[in-house]
Amino acid sequence: MSKGRLVIISGPSGSGKDTILKEALKALPEIKFSISSITRPMREGEVEGEKYNFISKEKFEEMIKNDMLLEYNNYIGNYYGTPKAPVEKVINEGGEIILEIDVNGQKNVKEKVDSALSIFIMPPSVEVLRTRLTGRGTDSAEFIEKRMKAALYEMERAKNYDYIVINDDLEQAVQDFVTIIKADRLNIQRQNNIIDEVLEKC
């Protein structure tokens, strides 16, 4: 059996990472997605257990106390975190699990799980990013500037990732993501057992 892999995907708002991930998971349905635990209220269109488990602040703080989180963050009074158990289960079974987290989360996870594979989704240029964020048409200029600033902060930290996918053409970006995952399955870190298996039979 090949070894499992924890995969991190990050990218600024407007990078298209949600769409890429959604399409890539169609091509790689065997990959698991890590459901984050969060304490903020559910928004319209969100479904419990899809991307998030909506839990109480008390329950979250109990998870912190019991070391049940791989990483967590507190953003404007709300907690966001990755529960440890489902990640460990998938990895131990030789599978892959994807964490959709930001650059701070990636840094925290990498410190604990050095073998984590991290992929950063990048817009083709800052202009394109601005156009994408403006194009939504619903946000104020001030809000867009805030998002642009946050995006630049994230993009400057892209160098800490293992792979960069430029989302210029969506189809190509999805294919690039899938290619990275498929190549990783051939990586020596995951194939070590297989060498033993081939040699054992002699």
Gap between the Cα atoms of 185 and 28, Å rounded:
12
DSSP 93-111: TT-EEEEE--HHHHHHHHH
- 63 scored as a contact of a copy of itself (CB under 8 A): no
- Among residues 65 and 159, whose Cβ is nearest to a copy of itself? 159
Gap between the Cα atoms of 193 and 127, Å rounded:
47
- Among residues 2 and 53, whose Cβ is nearest to a copy of itself? 2
Least distance CB 88 / a copy of itself (angstroms)? 25
Gap between the Cα atoms of 18 and 53, Å rounded:
18
Sole window of 5-13, 42-50, 85-93, 122-130 interacting with a copy of itself (rule: CB under 8 A): 122-130
- Among residues 21 and 155, whose Cβ is nearest to a copy of itself? 155
- Among residues 24 and 69, whose Cβ is nearest to a copy of itself? 24
Distances (CA, A) of 135 to 38, 107, 132, 169: 29, 31, 5, 17
Gap between the Cα atoms of 109 and 84, Å rounded:
11
Question: Site residues for a copy of itself, window 161-190 (CB under 8 A)?
Answer: 161-166, 176, 179-180, 182-184, 186-188
Interface residue list for a copy of itself (CB under 8 A): 122-127, 152, 155-156, 158-159, 161-166, 176, 179-180, 182-184, 186-188, 191-192, 194-195, 198-199, 201-202
